[in-house]
Structures are given as C-alpha cells and as structure tokens.
C-alpha cells in the first residue's frame, strides 16, 4: 500500500490527500511534524535528503518527493490527467507556476501569519509577499475569465495544486474578493466528486 | 516552426535552447530583453500573462510558459524522457526541486552579482541565498554519490534543468569545490551529444 509522510496543516501535503481521495486509492498516512524538526532527523533524511513533506513511499526504499511530482505520478492515466499532449503541457505549466510564482508567496504568508508568533521578525516580509500573491492571483483571474479550469476544459491536478493554498489565502491576510473568477473556480473545485476539505 | 521567446543570458531560457539543439529540432529564437521590461509590454503579456521568459510558441496563438514545462513538452517520447513511469516521476521530482529549492537561490545570487550594480541593496540577500544554495547543492551531491544522472541511469531533462544554473553558480559567488560529485556530473553533461554551452 502507498504511504504518505505528510503534515495535515501543509497545503502541499493536502494536495496529495485530496488526489488520493478523489482517485479512491487506499493509502496509509504517517503524520510528520515538520515544524518540530521531524523532517530533519537522520531517519527522515535517509528517505528524503531535502527534508520536506510530503513524501510518497511506493514501497519500502522507494520514495518520491515534491508534491506536484507526486500528483503527476499518481494521476497519470486517470481522468485527472489530460490525454492530449498540449493540454498536459498546459497542466505542467500551471504546476510549475504554482511552485514558483504562487506557493512561495501565498503559502509563506499563511505560514508567517498562522504559525509564527505575532511579534516575529518575519512579519516584515508580509507586504512584499502579499504584493507577489496579488500578481499570481491576477494571472489566475485572467486565465479563468475564459476557462473553467486550468488545463483544458476539465478538472485536473493543476486545479488540485492551485486550490490547496488559494483556498487558504485569507489565513495569510490575502483578500480574494478582487478575484471573482478565482472565487467561482474555488467553488467549482469544491463541487468535484470525492472532494475533501483540508481539515487543519 | 517552433518559436522560442527567450533571453540568452537567462539559464531558464538556455535550458530550452540546449534541449532543442540536442533533439535536433529546428526553431526560431526571438530575443526578449526581460531586464529592459520587454516581458511587460501589452503585446508580450497577451502571450504570457505571467510576463516571463522563456515562452514557447507552437503556432501563433498557442503558447507554453515555464521552462521545465517546455522541457517536458518537447522531450516527451525522446531519449531524454524516461520510458518507465517511476523514473519519469523521479525526473519530475528533480524538475520541481530545481524550480523550488535551487533556482530561487542559485540563479538569484547570480542575477544580483552579475546584473545589479555593486552597491545595490539586494546584495544584502546574498549570504542567505548562498546558504540555501549550499543546501540544494548538498542534496544534489548526495544523490550523485550513487547515480550518474538525476533520473534513472540516463541523461534526461532533469539534468538539463539542473545543469543550467549549477554551471553558472560561480557567477553568484557560489563555490562548487566542496561538491566533487556535482563537478563530475557537470563534466558528464557537457559530454552529451549535441551539447552547447550557454553563450552569455
């Protein structure tokens, strides 16, 4: 059986949970408290030298890191994986957009606001993070003005990847009201069969 | 014919050039000076709302952004694309690692050192960027202690993606001498058929 090493409060880990639930694949979840240093133990680093969650264990000794790579591996061949090569390329474009232009601002703003003390020095990063988040959200808003989902006409893992932290943007003090198409898309994603909300 | 909108001095753009040369695919290169704001014109934003290079134009009106998504699209089915699903997943893992844990420090340190004036305020970011670069290089070094390349036993687009900025790390004041396996891998990549060096 597949094992996921993850932290329920992490959007990157939630992506994997959501996909597995929607695929109806059985899996074992091992909760790893990254904030308490549990991804930096010698045992964990032997599984993932980069010391991050989520991590997929296909079988003992065979591990896959990087949330969006895990989504690709699990979704390939399913209805959440576009059959057309160009649509698949668009899906990958949005997966890389998510990790480069979206997660490093939307998720990090959430981390600072939710998990660090209110007087922490990293709060100084928030204005710049929110400015960059607004740029990413504007790119998404523009795309959604003429598309229901991110890759082609159908729900795919690009939507799962972008949903995770966009749905929690308010936690980082990021207001989604200027992005009505993004709000409508979040609602469409929540209506997909087998959808589960992030519980933390 | 394929058109690449790119900037020769960008490692992300060089990745696409290197792959196209190694695949022997004809293409047209349109030089776009991102540093001079040419990715922020209305014309360019109509092609890529995220305002970045490289951008692949398959045909007028059909564009693909994100360097590593472009690599995937172009390489699929070639010798640089692993046939085995698990090896392909590992390749994607390294592509996402490159964009999340490597490029934002190794490439940004280079940008600050090479393209900004010596008294620029962003030089204050360099110590932290070099610290993060050392972490990324250590992860690569460990992998290369038991592997010749990043995905499986063969050269793939994961190597192209990681080569681009690793080969220019010294530009950002990042010393590769503590990473002998990385240096040996760089030499192996340079020996691949059809290899071309970045010219800027």
Nearest Cα residue in chain A from B48: A139
Q: Would you tell me how many other CB atoms lie within 10 Å of the CB of residue A56? A: 26
What is the pLDDT, as a whole number, of residue B84?
97
pLDDT higher than threshold 90 for residue B200: no
Contact yes or no for A142 and B90 at CB 8 A? no
Nearest Cα residue in chain A from B136: A50
What is the pLDDT, as a whole number, of residue B116?
95
Please tell me if residue A93 touches chain B, with a CB cutoff of 8 Å: yes
Give chain B positions within 8 Å (CB) of A58.
Answer: 86
Summarize pLDDT for A167-190 with one digit per residue, the tens: 999 999 999 999 999 999 999 999
CA distance B14 to B196: 9
Read off the pLDDT band of A199 (50, 70, 90): confident
Radius of gyration of chain A (CA): 17
Output the average pLDDT for chain A: 97
Please tell me if residue B115 touches chain A, with a CB cutoff of 8 Å: no
Summarize pLDDT for A38-87 with one digit per residue, the tens: 999 999 999 999 999 999 999 999 999 999 999 999 999 999 999 999 99
Provide the CB-side half-sphere exposure for A72 (13 A, CA): 28
B2-75 shares its CATH topology with B85-190: no
Please tell me if residue B86 touches chain A, with a CB cutoff of 8 Å: yes
Are the C-beta atoms of B75 and B23 separated by less than 8 Å?
A: yes
Summarize pLDDT for B8-19 with one digit per residue, the tens: 999 999 999 999
Are the C-beta atoms of B93 and B42 separated by less than 8 Å?
A: no
pLDDT higher than threshold 90 for residue B199: no
Contact yes or no for B65 and A101 at CB 8 A? no
What percent of chain A has a predicted confidence (pLDDT) above 70? 100
Which of B42, B51, B85, B93 is the best mutation test for A, with the most CBs of A within 10 A?
A: B93
Fold (CATH) for B2-75: Glutaredoxin (3.40.30)
Contact yes or no for B69 and A99 at CB 8 A? no
Q: Alpha carbon of A169 to those of A6, A182, A188, B89, B114: distances in Å?
A: 20, 11, 17, 29, 35
Please tell me if residue A95 touches chain B, with a CB cutoff of 8 Å: yes
Q: How far is A189 from chain B (nearest CA, A)?
A: 23
Boundaries of every domain in chain A: 2-75, 85-190
Option in B72, B101, B139 nearest A89 (CB): B72
What is the pLDDT, as a whole number, of residue A136?
98
Read off the pLDDT band of A200 (50, 70, 90): confident
CATH code of domain A85-190:
1.20.1050.10
Contact yes or no for A72 and B49 at CB 8 A? no
Rounded to the nearest angstrom, the gap between the alpha carbon of residue A172 and the centroid of all alpha carbons in its chain is: 15
ipTM value:
0.98
Please tell me if residue B2 touches chain A, with a CB cutoff of 8 Å: no
Option in A49, A62, A96 nearest B69 (CB): A96
Are the C-beta atoms of B54 and B16 separated by less than 8 Å?
A: yes
Element (H, E) at A166: helix A157-166
């Amino acid at each position: 059986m597949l094992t996921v090493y993850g932290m329920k409060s992490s959007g990157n880990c939630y992506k994997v949970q959501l996909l597995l639930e929607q695929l109806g694949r059985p899996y074992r979840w091992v909760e790893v408290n990254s904030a308490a240093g549990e991804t930096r133990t010698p045992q964990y680093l032997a599984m993932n030298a980069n010391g991050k969650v989520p991590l997929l264990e296909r079988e003992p000794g065979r591990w896959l890191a990087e949330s969006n790579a895990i989504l690709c591996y699990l979704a390939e061949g399913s209805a959440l994986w576009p059959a057309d090569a160009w649509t698949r390329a668009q899906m990958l474009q949005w997966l890389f957009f998510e990790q480069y232009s979206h997660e490093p601002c939307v998720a990090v703003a959430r981390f600072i606001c939710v998990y660090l003390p209110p007087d922490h020095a990293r709060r100084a990063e928030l204005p710049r993070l929110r400015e960059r988040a607004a740029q990413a959200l504007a790119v998404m808003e523009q795309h959604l003005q003429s598309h229901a989902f991110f890759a082609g006409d159908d729900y795919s893992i690009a939507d799962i990847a972008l949903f995770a932290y966009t749905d929690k943007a308010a936690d980082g003090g990021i207001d989604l009201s200027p992005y009505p198409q993004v709000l409508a898309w979040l609602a469409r994603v929540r209506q997909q069969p087998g959808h589960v909300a992030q519980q933390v």
